[in-house]
Amino acid sequence: MLSTRKTPVLITRRQPGDQHRTRRSLGAARQVLAKFAAAAATTMAVLAALLVGGSSAALAAGGHFVPGATEASWDGVVATVSFREVDVEVEGGVTTISVKVTADVNVVCTQGESTLNIRRSATALDVTDYSISDDGAVAGTARLPLEVRGLLVPGYSCVTRHLSVTAVLEDFWTGATLVHRA
């Protein structure tokens, strides 16, 4: 007796290079997974080391940035951030500070009766070790190359209407953070 039930059937035809392509894509997937696993293992090892041997972080609990001693500027090419951190007690006399600077720029460009309002921003990051003075202070100046693209339009006259510079400071060992807007 014949069955009238529909049964899906997948019919494929392999081309000579198909098997090789499958192996290559599986190999690429394995490489991605291996890199992910290695990154996860490294991250876990660093976190474990900080938790188990975190004596430096425990000693540095009082470290903090001085807001009044922080300045941030941008000259169109280089962002400069000056800062001071006090009450730093880290073994080894050196601490690691991350400085992230963002420049937000608003320009108005005109050509005859045509007007363009353009807002652009760019961010730069620097992570550096700084020496701790005998009195537990860290004074530093970070200079970061920072280019904001798209502010000039050929054939238009452009004028900067607003510029803001934001610096985010973080000491990896003390946990101190500061956001400074200029």
**58 pLDDT exceeds 50?**
no
Report pLDDT for 25.
53
- Residue linked to tokens 């000579």: 16
Q: For residues 94-114, give the mean pLDDT.
A: 95
Report pLDDT for 62.
81
Phi and psi based region of residue 104 (left: phi greater than 0; alpha: psi -120 to 50; beta: remaining): beta
Q: Which residue has the higher pLDDT, 43 or 115?
A: 115
DSSP string covering the chain: ---------------TTHHHHHHHHHHHHHHHHHHHHHHHHHHHHHHHHHHHSTHHHHHTTT-EE-GGG-EEEE-SSEEEEEEEEES---TTSEEEEEEEEEEEEEEEEEETTEEEEEEEEEEEEEEEEEEPPTTS-EEEEEEEE----S---TTSEEEEEEEEEEEEEEETTT--EEEEE-
Report pLDDT for 21.
47
- Mean pLDDT computed over every residue of the chain: 79
CATH second-level architecture of 59-181?
Answer: Sandwich (2.60)
CA 114, chain centre distance (Å): 37
Report pLDDT for 60.
46
**49 pLDDT exceeds 50?**
no
Report pLDDT for 95.
93
Residue 134 CA to residue 29 CA, distance in Å, equals 52
For 129-140, the pLDDT digits (tens) are 999 999 999 999
What percentage of the chain carries pLDDT values higher than 70? 66
**57 pLDDT exceeds 70?**
no
CA 23, chain centre distance (Å): 35
The confidence band for 90, taking pLDDT boundaries of 50, 70 and 90, is confident
The total of other beta-carbon atoms located within 10 Å of residue 64's CB is 16
* Residue from 45, 63, 91 nearest 171 by CA: 63
**How far from 174 is each of 23, 96, 136, 170, CA to CA, in Å?**
48, 9, 12, 9
Report pLDDT for 66.
94
Q: For residues 50-66, give the mean pLDDT.
A: 59
Report pLDDT for 180.
94
Tell me the whole-structure pTM to 2 decimals: 0.64
* Residue from 102, 109, 88, 83 nearest 147 by CA: 102
